[in-house]
Amino acid sequence: MSMLLGLFLAPLLAGLIHRVKAFFAGRQGRPLLQLYWDLARLVRKHMVLSRTTTPVFLLGPALSLVSLLACLTLIPLGGPALLRFPGDILLFLGLLALVRFATVLAAMDTGSSFEGMGASREVAIGALAEPGIFLSLAVLVVQTRALSLSGIWARSGPELWSRAGLVMVLVGIAMFLLLLAENSRIPVDDPNTHLELTMIHEVMVLDHSGPALAVIEYASALKLWIGSLLLSSLVFPLHSGSAWLDLLGGVGVVFLVALAVGLVESTSARLSMLRVPQFVGLSSALSLLALFLVIR
Amino acid sequence: MKPEILSYPEFSKKLAGRHLAALMGLPGRSGSVLMVAVTTPGAPSAGEEAGACPPGGLQLPATVVEGTFPSLTLEHPQAHGFEREFFEEWKVRPEGHPWLKPVRFPQGQPGLTDFFKVSGEEIHEVAVGPVHAGVIEPGHFRFQCRGEEVLHLEISLGYQHRGVEKALPGASPARSMAYVETLAGDTSVGHALAWCRNLEALAGIRVSARAEALRAVALELERLANHCGDLGALAGDVGYLPTASFCGRLRGDLLNLTGLACGNRFGRGWIRPGGVAWDLEPVRAEQIRTRLAGIMRDVRQALDLLGRSGSVQARFERTGILTREAALELGLVGPVARASGVALDCRRQFPWGPYLDPAFPVCTGLLGDVACRARVRIDEMEVSAAFLDSLLAHLPEGPLRVGMRAMAPKAFSVSLVEGWRGQICHVAATDTQGHLLACKVVDPSFRNWFGLALALRGQQISDFPLCNKSFNLSYCGHDL
Amino acid sequence: MLRVVTWAEQPSDWWGWLLVLTGLVSGILGVVFALAQHDLKRLLACHSVENLGIIALGLGLGLLGLSGGSPLAAALGLGGGLLHVWNHAWFKSLLFMGAGALGKATGSLQIESGGGLLRRMPGTGGAFLVGSAAISGLPPLNGFVSEFLIFMSALELLASVHPLAGAAGLGGLALISGLAVACFTKVCGVVFLGEPRSPGAQKATEIRGSMLVPMLLLAGLCLLVGVMAPLGIGVLGAPLQQLAPQADLEPIRGSLGWVAALGGLVLLAGLGLGHALSRRPSQPGMTWDCGYSRPTARMQYTAASFAGPLLEMFSFVLKPRHHGSPLEGHFPAPVGHHGEVCDPFTQRLYEPISRSLMRLALRVRVFQHGEVQLYLLYILITLVALFIWEAL
Amino acid sequence: MLKALLARLNQGHRTAVGIPEALPDRTLGRPRFQPVRCAEGCSECARVCPTAAIVPGQTLDLGSCLFCGECARVCPHGAVRFGRSPAMAVRRRSDLVLSGPDLQLAEALDEQALRLFGRSLRLRQVSAAGCNACEADVNVLGTLTFDLARFGIDFVASPRHADGLLVTGPVSRNMREALLKTWQAVPAPRLVVAVGACAISGGPCFDHEQTCGGTDGLLPVDLYVPGCPPNPWTILDGLLRLLGRLEGPEAG
């Protein structure tokens, strides 16, 4: 159920963020369902394939979408996840690394300096973000003594917040910053810009078209969903006793996270590319601080 | 004024310490070319009070060249672009020019030139354009990069070459107005004004005070709209949503004010030889004045937000620095040069009509970074808004348009107008029958492009769009 | 080493700590230096340093588990470390063979002179890609399985007896694997993808089958160990039972089963989706070049530029040197640029030592005349001196 | 953040609801051409036309017209009059050549294309020697007032992501190859929109050897938007008609 929700609602998040930004700008803005229409159009279009490219070009997006779908089976939402076993956290992170490996190689396959530039930025940010994600999840592991995402979900919640509020706040902030960085949002990347030289994510997919682009767009919507879901299920889970209420609450928090992303994008400027590592490092530092508070 | 024909060494000496507004060729006797320079006084030194450059002081040194001549660029770097253009047009080679590359590729094959190259297996080139990512004109940018750092940027234009300058002298009056109003679409008023003032000078007529005032209104509205748009675009480039959206809308509102006055949002069809085509009745003038006040209130608020945002200022400051020395040596103009502390402004140097105020403010900056270029634009908007307000309140009386007369034979005329991008220089010469023989158009972009290339050295490539916006130059104004 | 360490009934903490720290330092430095290399063989050598670091880290965590009384962590750490020894042997041989094939086909081991080789050498390229994914610790390949065990050990320690070591191991290994992904995307992207960057790469062809088959076999092995992970634990079961008898490995086997199943499924589904995509109607074209008519191979990202942002962050250890004259004037003349990263051990440890040894040797040469009598005299003096010393 | 919110409240919601029926009073909208009124032998209009867009007594080519209004000003018989309606975009080049007062406005794409693009259309803008006025008016469509994105239309960076080209400028000889390369980079099915007199007919440079005289003959144009530059409302009106979002003779 939670998996299906993710599959269907993920593209809505992008629409929601756009609506928040449109409100702040004072315009009507894109329809909420725009990404659904975009995807419907893209899958029916042809592709232009560069003569330079190899099967890696199409395999990259395919593998990353499938990996993200696999990730979705591991995250709890309003109830334990479809699949749960000790150490599923590690598989989850491994799959995210696979996503990065696949998209970066698909970008490099075109032999364009733009895609290379985006790929270089992506791996730099990714390599720095990796410890941050591990450490923030580690804090939750220590706090809940659970080795699986569903286990953390089961033992996290208001009780944990009252016991270790500060730590949870730190972890929450760290994970939110990572969400911004990993999903190419302001202040790390600007999803709205059309300028090749400043982009990260968009510039990596400059050559993909048609169904392949649809796969990429859908995958990045899923990635945003998964990132928000982690925050919702692990940091702010609801345990009301009713599974339906928990589910509703979980989805609500996911949308709140998207709202917060929109708010950040509406009111702050992008960082200079030189500052991005510091920004990503900050999230690692925050989770490290939380970790020390926990194991001290 | 007539060009003063000198020997080559004297000619070269005459350029020292002066600002080269234009360099053009006129057909001479038996295959030789008369090279005419239009020079204006150089900038006052940095210490002097801003805007101290006194009015007047135009000079027209000229010399006869044939086959080859020693390049002026070595001594006067600001001649580099003019000499390349000269070579392309007249096939007279400036010997020793360090960088004799095509400017406009009139024979086709744009972008086919030896780009400056930093060798080494680590260096990669980024080639951007001609088709850019945004909704902008085409041009080719070649970066030599090591990682994210730009070692060198070379700009190769010419994609927009339409042959307008060549077509100008023989065109019908109606068509030549269409040409000059599309020389650089966002500077329709500036170029139309420079063109008409030349024709009027050649015909020896004076336009009325009212027409001059209305022309000034058109020119300043154009400046306001474009500066406002630029500031919004700068905010957009660093992803700062509020100012970007507000200024984008306000720019449209400012264009609409011009549209209200003459029916065209870019001021096309407003300025005509002998005066202006559209009047501002008192009601309309008052309407523009009130709407302008409202727009400026919103503009101030949007810009205040920009100034207060630390994350924006961090991106603007110390990005894309252009030193005063470089700006002077390369003869840069307009807000770009003023942001680097070069206090030159044609409204002060060659004033006319309502600008005949010895205290007309010239806005300058010190550092020459993106922040300064933004600041100068903000200051100039305030100056223009105040100027417009008083102008619209007291429009002088007089006829809109006086009839044109035949132009003087064998005459030479220079017109300098401070467009929103900077000094626009039009030169026109007539033949023995009083028909136009040759025209020269120098858009401010022609000079400033090189300044952009220089400002990018050692910068992060991701800052290029920001620097580019802070210059915001015209491609077709360069390519003609 | 493991043998020796486990002789003792209860290993003391500091052994584990020492191994963890050595592992972290060598792992992180190894991968950072690898990132800076221009030569494929040197790069792979640096990765060996990194992988030995991972192995040491696993063993160290395991020892800490033993000493702290967490048999599960011990079994996981030691098992992961041991498994990684195997895995490393496989994917590293695969990668070295790939490098050899590359050198043979293009005549150069410089990364920057590769490019577009996957089209020209699909077998080598495919095998190398699998090896790269394996060494980067990506599911569903063998590298992920051993790193999974080590990570699990760190998580166990974190939640129980040695939280600090667990945290260090976790963060360190995460950084290492993040950087490894960066490094191998660089190699694969620059060498195998895009357009050829040198004449050698331009005319490269696939190598002989006899060289190709072992690579393909090894690649298959990497995959097999990955998707047969639960069996792998079975193989390790016996030694682990000895090392950490109390550990209950059943849940781990279950987890590995899921890992293998889901990983395998992802791979299959990914291939399927990729195939489905390639069947969609398409039109051939050129890589988008902004409409510019004369693109060159120089307009591709170079390996150095690709790794640039990361190297910049680690410049305090790498101390990169750049040679090249700065651009002067408004119209500069063409210049060259070259950058390199020197090995700090060669530069700051071995070289000074060997230099002082040489100096010493030169001084000692005074005694060397080549005359037999003198040498006899030296021996005599030495003997006398020894006797005196003995007598004292 | 509070400041930004306050500023937003101050600046207000700015998106216009519909396309205005009439442009401001001095702005020249859709002309009413009545050659029947022309007197024999009168060619005042042709004399002042900068682009030879008008043939007295016969045709007025909106694709060449720069909307300078000189013809209407000099015509003694009122054969040319400019109205204020922004709706002017057409689907066929021949529709722009007026021989009477009627203008066949653009009809929607066929049903199959509408199913594809009706709610989502991505365009790649190519300026082929445009003077930056058309470009500016296309850019304006993204601002608060016009808010193009609310109709599902957007401009994208890469032609690979696009469903069509929006071309401005007379297509200089130097831009010809780049334009064609961009076209080839757009995956099928795809559209072409020509915006402005230059892109339709070459504009003031219609007979220059340095230009190709517009997009016609190079690309299959699906929508022509006349003007120099077209008012943003004219462009928006044309795009919405193309997508079947707007029907009828006047803008709604």
Cβ-defined contact of A271 to B147 (cutoff 8 Å) = no
Q: Tell me how many residue pairs between chain A and chain B have CB atoms under 8 A apart.
A: 89
Please report whether residue B158 resides in a domain: no
Tell me the C-alpha distance between A66 and B100, whole Å. 55
Q: State the maximum Cα–Cα separation within chain D, in Å, rounded to a whole number.
A: 70
Report CA-CA distances (Å) from C206 to B422, C125, C179, D223: 60, 9, 30, 51
Cβ-contact A21, B241 below 8 angstroms? yes
Cβ-defined contact of D185 to C292 (cutoff 8 Å) = no
Cβ-defined contact of C138 to A94 (cutoff 8 Å) = yes
Confidence tier at C343 by pLDDT (50, 70, 90): low
pLDDT (0 to 100) of residue B312: 87
Q: Which domain holds residue B253?
A: 164-479
- The helix or strand, by DSSP H or E, that contains position D39, with its residue range, turns out to be none
The stretch D20-45 carries a mean pLDDT of 87
Cβ-defined contact of B241 to A21 (cutoff 8 Å) = yes
Sign of the torsion angle spanned by Cα atoms A161, A166, A171, A177: positive
Query: Is there a cis peptide before residue A80, judged by omega within 30 degrees of 0?
Result: no
pLDDT (0 to 100) of residue C72: 86
Q: Which of A130-134, B155-159, C251-255, C298-302 has the lowest mean pLDDT?
A: C298-302
Of B52, B69, B95, which one is at a domain's C-terminal end?
B95
Packed helices C122-135 and C71-106: angle between N→C axes, nearest 10 degrees: 150
Tell me the C-alpha distance between B99 and B115, whole Å. 10
| Residue closest to B73 by CA, chosen among C329, C326, C335, C334 | C329
Same domain, B277 and B387: yes
Cβ-defined contact of C293 to D181 (cutoff 8 Å) = yes
pLDDT (0 to 100) of residue C268: 94
B299 vs C338: which has the higher pLDDT: B299
CATH number of the structural domain spanning residue B345? 1.10.645.10
Query: Is there a cis peptide before residue C334, judged by omega within 30 degrees of 0?
Result: no
pLDDT (0 to 100) of residue C366: 62
Cβ-defined contact of B245 to A195 (cutoff 8 Å) = no
Q: Three-state SS for C323? A: strand
Encoding tokens for residue A239?
């345990």
Mean pLDDT of chain A: 89
B86 vs C377: which has the higher pLDDT: B86
Cβ-contact C161, C205 below 8 angstroms? no
Chain D positions touching C286 (Cβ under 8 A) are 181, 184-185
Same domain, B81 and B194: no
Same domain, B266 and B346: yes
Cβ-defined contact of D178 to C293 (cutoff 8 Å) = yes
The stretch C361-365 carries a mean pLDDT of 68
Burial A176-213 (b: 16+ CB within 10 A, else e): bbbbbbbbbbbbbbbbbbbbbbbbbbbbbbbbbbbbbb
Tell me the C-alpha distance between B106 and B108, whole Å. 5
- Residue A65, pLDDT > 90, answer yes
Cβ-defined contact of C290 to B127 (cutoff 8 Å) = yes
Total Cβ atoms within 10 A of residue C208: 9
Same domain, B35 and B176: no
**Test the D interface: residue of A17, A18, A24, A28 with most D CBs within 10 Å:** A28
- Residue C250, pLDDT > 70, answer yes
Cβ-defined contact of D152 to A34 (cutoff 8 Å) = yes
Report CA-CA distances (Å) from D192 to B430, D116, D224: 44, 15, 9
Sign of the torsion angle spanned by Cα atoms B301, B303, B304, B309: positive
pLDDT (0 to 100) of residue D250: 52
Total domains in the fold of chain A:
1
- Residue D222, pLDDT > 70, answer yes
Tell me the C-alpha distance between A105 and A120, whole Å. 11
- Residue C342, pLDDT > 70, answer no
Residue at D217: amino acid letter: G
Cβ-defined contact of A46 to D144 (cutoff 8 Å) = no
- Residue D252, pLDDT > 50, answer no
Q: Identify the chains in contact with A, defined as 3+ C-beta pairs within 8 A.
A: B, C, D
CATH number of the structural domain spanning residue D227? 3.40.50.12280
Encoding tokens for residue C194?
């895009």
| Residue closest to B372 by CA, chosen among B341, B343, B347, B333 | B341
- Residue A258, pLDDT > 90, answer yes
pLDDT (0 to 100) of residue A117: 87
pLDDT digits (tens, 9 = 90+) for A171-190: 999 999 999 998 888 888 88
Q: Nearest by CB to A270, from B127, B134, B238: name it.
A: B238
| Residue closest to C155 by CA, chosen among B191, A152, B55, D126 | A152
Chain C positions touching A123 (Cβ under 8 A) are 181-182, 185-186, 306, 310
Q: How close A222 gets to chain C, by Cα (Å)?
A: 16
Output the CA torsion C59→C64→C66→C67 (10° steps). 140
C242 touches chain D (CB under 8 A): no
The DSSP 8-state label assigned to residue B341 in this structure reads T
Please report whether residue B154 resides in a domain: no
Cβ-defined contact of C292 to B130 (cutoff 8 Å) = yes
Cβ-defined contact of C293 to D177 (cutoff 8 Å) = yes
pLDDT digits (tens, 9 = 90+) for C61-109: 988 888 888 888 888 888 889 889 988 998 999 999 999 998 888 888 8
A293 touches chain B (CB under 8 A): no
Backbone angles phi, psi at D59, to 5 degrees: -135, 155
pLDDT (0 to 100) of residue B333: 92
Cβ-defined contact of A28 to D150 (cutoff 8 Å) = yes
State the pairing for strand pair B271-272/B140-146.
Answer: unpaired
Same domain, B284 and B413: yes
Total domains in the fold of chain D:
1
Confidence tier at C50 by pLDDT (50, 70, 90): very high
Cβ-defined contact of C291 to D178 (cutoff 8 Å) = yes
Residues within 8 A of D (CB atoms), B 414-433 only: none
Residue with tokens 């502390």: B341
pLDDT digits (tens, 9 = 90+) for C122-131: 999 999 999 9
Q: How close D205 gets to chain B, by Cα (Å)?
A: 7
End-to-end CA distance of chain B: 26
Total Cβ atoms within 10 A of residue D115: 13
B287 touches chain D (CB under 8 A): no
Residue with tokens 């005063």: B324
Chain D positions touching A18 (Cβ under 8 A) are 149
Tell me the C-alpha distance between C129 and B253, whole Å. 56
**Test the A interface: residue of B241, B247, B316 with most A CBs within 10 Å:** B241
pLDDT (0 to 100) of residue A186: 81
Predicted confidence pLDDT, tens digits, chain B (480 residues): 788 888 888 888 888 888 999 999 888 888 889 899 999 888 877 665 555 577 778 888 999 988 888 998 888 889 888 998 999 888 889 888 888 888 888 887 787 777 888 877 778 888 887 888 888 888 899 888 888 888 888 888 889 899 899 898 888 888 999 999 998 889 999 999 999 999 999 998 999 999 999 999 999 999 999 999 999 999 988 888 888 888 989 999 999 999 999 989 999 989 999 889 999 899 999 999 999 999 999 999 989 988 888 888 888 888 899 998 899 888 899 999 999 988 888 888 888 889 888 888 888 888 889 999 999 999 999 999 999 999 999 899 889 888 888 888 888 899 999 999 999 999 999 988 888 888 999 999 998 999 999 999 888 888 888 999 999 999 988 988
The stretch A26-34 carries a mean pLDDT of 88
Q: What percent of chain A has pLDDT over 70?
A: 100
Please report whether residue B145 resides in a domain: no
pLDDT (0 to 100) of residue B258: 92
**In sequence order, what are the residues at sequence separation of 6 or more whose Cβ sits closer than 8 angstroms to the Cβ of residue D45?**
D54, D56, D70, D71, D74, D75, D79, D80
The DSSP 8-state label assigned to residue A79 in this structure reads S
Q: Three-state SS for D110? A: coil
pLDDT (0 to 100) of residue D249: 58
Residue count of chain D:
252
pLDDT (0 to 100) of residue C350: 65
Alpha helices in B350-414 (DSSP H): 370-393
C190 touches chain A (CB under 8 A): yes
Chain D positions touching B245 (Cβ under 8 A) are 143-144
Q: What percent of chain A has pLDDT over 90?
A: 40
Encoding tokens for residue C271?
């291939």
C364 vs C46: which has the higher pLDDT: C46
* Rg of chain D, C-alpha, whole Å: 19
**Test the B interface: residue of D15, D176, D210 with most B CBs within 10 Å:** D210
The DSSP 8-state label assigned to residue D90 in this structure reads B
Chain B positions touching A117 (Cβ under 8 A) are 126, 148, 461
Chain D positions touching B188 (Cβ under 8 A) are 133
Cβ-defined contact of B462 to A24 (cutoff 8 Å) = no
Q: How close C321 gets to chain D, by Cα (Å)?
A: 37
Q: How many CA atoms lie within 13 A of D121 on its CB side?
A: 27
**In sequence order, what are the residues at sequence separation of 6 or more whose Cβ sits closer than 8 angstroms to the Cβ of residue D81?**
D31, D32, D34, D72
pLDDT (0 to 100) of residue A224: 93
Chain D positions touching A23 (Cβ under 8 A) are 8
pLDDT (0 to 100) of residue C67: 85
pLDDT digits (tens, 9 = 90+) for D146-194: 888 889 999 998 899 999 999 999 999 888 989 999 999 999 899 999 9
The stretch A191-202 carries a mean pLDDT of 79
- Residue A67, pLDDT > 50, answer yes
Total Cβ atoms within 10 A of residue A59: 22
**Test the D interface: residue of C277, C280, C283 with most D CBs within 10 Å:** C283
Cβ-defined contact of A267 to D4 (cutoff 8 Å) = yes
Same domain, B219 and B351: yes
Q: What percent of chain C has pLDDT over 90?
A: 31
Cβ-contact A2, A226 below 8 angstroms? no
Q: Which domain holds residue D219?
A: 111-242
